Amino acid sequence: MGELLVAMNLAYNTTIKARARYELAQQGPGHSLPAPCEAVRLWHALACTWLLQSNKRFWVGIHCHDYPQSLLALKDPPLVLFGEGRRELLSARGVAIVGSRNATRTGLGHAHGFGKAFAKAHWVVVSGLAEGIDGAAHTGALEATGATIAVLGCGPDEVYPPHHAGLKQQIVAQGGLVLSEYPPGTAPQAGFFPRRNRIIAGLADGLLVVEAAMRSGSLITARVASELGRTVGAIPGSIHSSQSKGCHDMIKKGAMLIETAQELLDEVQASLPVFKITAMLQEDDNDCHTTMNCSMDTDMELDEELSRVLQCLGHEPAHSDTLAQQLGLDTETILAALTELELLGLVLGESGNRWVRSNGVF
């Protein structure tokens, strides 16, 4: 029986209970297993076909020499992983960025900015390729020509959401890695994504939550990371924003309040595993000292009307009608001013015709 079939039989044979599979895995590669069931043989055939289609594709089982050591601390580590991209990233130092799928423009800016800063400092950015914060974090890392790992909640040949197919291809093309514990041919299912989150937490040496509601899946990732002894940080937001309440709750319970990328990296660096320190890339962390808050060009000259609108606007969303009433301007005039300020990069439009000052990371 081929090595891949043995590994997949251990991971996916439904005639063996999950707990029994992990107990067998702990016994080492020489254990005896029941014959592969029909489902395992089908998945094995699909996996072999998928692997042969590109020399960038690979698999790694829990008994392989380059299986990520950081995942072994999980209560239920993935028994098999399928990857496409740079295999050596499995053991690279990394920071996870997670957050809401329904992110605000401000949150997307933070995720993009921090992803870019971490990548410039030669840290791998780990996330889940999901809508919102995940996608922005991957994109920021790619713009910095850095490495990023996308952990999927489906087979390695699938994409969710579908419109992130281009982003997935770009990650592989630019030297990143796409990873899944599910065999090729596995469609995304709701229950797969919470399990995917434990791999994100396990691979990364630190974790940053950008935006999260109180019942967000990102809080599951943060809890797993904390249980593993990883550094966990969160970005605070408006006290009126439901997308910030999860982050605020984390901070109250001991997570780091993060304002700059360097704050998190300094803490993560101090507790980095020895095997990652020895394999560390040459550092250049100078780009990480930029504060991810509002930064406005003070030399920019604005006319009196634009200045009045900008001064009336804060970092909490305000409706254009409210601004018009406060300034004594008609709706058409206020919208024209806000549009001009947005083109100058000083304000951002939120959903529902609400506006905030720019966070300075675009």
Distance, CA of 272 to chain centre: 19
Q: How far apart are CA 140 and CA 131, in angstroms?
A: 14
Query: How many Cβ atoms from other residues are within 10 Å of residue 200's Cβ?
Result: 25
Q: From residue 188, how far is each of 69, 152, 155, 158, 181 by CA, in Å? A: 26, 9, 7, 8, 12
Distance, CA of 294 to chain centre: 23
pLDDT tens, N- to C-terminus, the chain (362 residues): 589 999 999 999 988 888 888 888 888 776 778 889 999 999 999 999 999 999 999 999 999 999 999 999 999 999 999 999 999 999 999 999 999 999 988 899 999 999 999 999 999 999 999 999 999 999 999 999 999 999 999 999 999 999 999 999 999 999 999 999 999 999 999 899 999 999 999 999 999 999 999 988 899 999 999 999 999 999 999 888 888 999 999 999 999 999 999 999 999 998 887 777 655 544 444 444 444 433 334 345 678 888 888 888 876 788 989 889 889 998 888 888 888 887 777 887 777 788 887 654 33
| Residue type at 170 in one-letter notation | Q
Q: What is the pTM of this model?
A: 0.80
Helix (H, G, I), strand (E, B) or coil at 126: strand
Q: At what angle do helices 304-312 and 331-343 cross, to 10 degrees?
A: 90
Among 66, 134, 95, 72, smallest CA distance to 271 is for: 95
Parse the chain into domains and list their residue ranges.
1-53, 87-289, 304-357
Q: What is the dihedral of CA 187, 193, 195, 201, to 10 degrees?
A: 130
The domain defined by 87-289 folds into Rossmann fold (3.40.50)
Among 67, 130, 83, smallest CA distance to 103 is for: 130
pLDDT at 30: 67
Count H helices and E strands in the chain, helices first.
14, 12
| Residue type at 202 in one-letter notation | G
Report, at the CATH architecture level, how domain 304-357 is classified: Orthogonal Bundle (1.10)
Both tokens of residue 45? 């055939």
Helix (H, G, I), strand (E, B) or coil at 233: strand
DSSP 313-350: --SS-EEHHHHHHHHT--HHHHHHHHHHHHHTTSEEEE
